[in-house]
Amino acid sequence: MDKFKIAGGGELNGEISISGAKNAALPILAATLLTDQTMTISNVPHLHDITTTMELLGRMGSDLMLDEKLNIEVTNNNITEFFAPYEMVKTMRASILVLGPLLARYGEADVSLPGGCAIGSRPVNIHLAGLAAMGADINVDKGYIKARAKRLKGTHLTLEMVTVTGTENLMMAAVLAEGKTILENAAREPEVIDLAECLIAMGANIEGAGTDTIIIEGVDSLHGAHHTILPDRIETGTFLVAATMAGGKIKLKNTRPELLDAVLAKLRSAGAEIVVDDTNITLTMKSGRPAAVDIHTSPFPGFPTDMQAQFTALNCIAEGNGTITENVFENRFMHVQELQRMGANIKLEGNTAICNGVKQLVGAPVMATDLRASACLVLAALVAEGETIVDRIYHIDRGYETIEEKFSQLGAEIIRIPG
């Protein structure tokens, strides 16, 4: 297993370009199953989760190609298997996103039920209840969701909780259903809007994406289209926290500052100076430690759970006491014990991490447990005294494109040790 060796202590300075958003690319690749015509997708990040999704589509019969501009072209006119096996779903829960499209277009889907994961139990009951309300016959048998339907029927759904992939799965199912579907209490995340924009380009009739009520009028078929994936707001936020911790001046290009309001507000309270224009963010952190911040995670437009671990790392070296309350997932604090091993003064009370910032963390061997927890350990290592080895970085390769190259470009001392 690959590891990162990181020598902490230096400032971050320079410019990097932000990649396409993983959590938009995954549902959009699944959405290609909704048409037999060719889809062209640009700005797809090079990530392990994308490779897994392409493998999953490939084994179903998708024809996948990279064109000369590195766009992914997907043609689904010969799907022969409507099946997502346990071996793939267990490595990537987002495989559940093929359920809605397969059922809507082919009337049949056998998808392994995802198990629990490092950040919480993460059930998919809301996805299944929604599809059942649209007329699907759903059984769970030997660990597999077996869903069948002649043609799904539009209906009025009020989702029990705000769920991002649940909203996406139901929206993809509804675009080919008969009649109108109303999704209330829908997720408002920018990635849901990006998926809706792609579906609209394919001929779907969707209104209200980005609000908590999405209205979809089903159509008989969809056609091919070209879509460019929106920039990754979590990758953007991760680099911004890094520079706020390490000091220096960084410019992040090809991003969307308006998607990061809650994150930028917290970075400003921590002491960062931030200037934005349409597609760039410049952050300057003058010498000195950041100020501790208090955070409560919640669905968009609230503070994203996917930025919680990185801000926990910031509070570890901040001046003052900060509390971080995780409201979306029940067990997303696996990084806390690793931060303690680097000298952090942090304790957990229920779903809140209370941190009394220390002047200096100390490098240590640490272990990544999930994607964002791994990012948090890299940030801590960048400001720690001495050397840190971060083990199991396959987690980070799932969601950050060439993170070590981007940090090196900003002057950090980070190398990959192949394992």
The contact set with ligand EPU (CB under 6 A) reads 23, 26, 94, 120, 122-127, 161, 163-166, 305-306, 328-329, 371-372, 399
Task: Enter the tokens of residue 303.
Answer: 């503070």
Residue closer to ligand EPU, measured from CB, 237 or 399: 399
Residue among 314, 333, 330, 331 nearest 322 (CA): 314
Residue 401's φ and ψ, nearest 5 degrees, are -80, 120
Residue 241's φ and ψ, nearest 5 degrees, are -65, -40
Task: Enter the tokens of residue 367.
Answer: 């272990």
355 is catalytic: no
What does 208-239 look like in DSSP terms, one character per residue? Answer: -BTBSEEEEE--S-----EEEPPB-HHHHHHH
CA angle 241–49–395, rounded 5-degree value: 50
The minimum distance between CB 50 and ligand EPU, in angstroms, equals: 11
The minimum distance between CB 57 and ligand EPU, in angstroms, equals: 15
What amino acid occupies position 199? L
Residue closer to ligand EPU, measured from CB, 127 or 406: 127
Q: How many Å apart are CA 329 and CA 1, to the nearest integer?
A: 27
- 34's CB contacts (< 8 A; 6+ apart) are 101, 104, 105, 172, 175, 176, 199, 202, 222
The minimum distance between CB 257 and ligand EPU, in angstroms, equals: 19
The minimum distance between CB 186 and ligand EPU, in angstroms, equals: 11
Task: Enter the tokens of residue 170.
Answer: 């139901």
Contact between residue 27 and residue 172 where contact means Cβ atoms under 8 Å apart: yes
What amino acid occupies position 57? L
The minimum distance between CB 262 and ligand EPU, in angstroms, equals: 12
Residue closer to ligand EPU, measured from CB, 235 or 318: 235
Residue closer to ligand EPU, measured from CB, 164 or 368: 164
Q: How many Å apart are CA 23 and CA 231, to the nearest integer?
A: 10
The minimum distance between CB 399 and ligand EPU, in angstroms, equals: 5
Instruction: Identify the active-site residue in 117, 198, 316, 376.
Output: 117
What residues act catalytically? 117
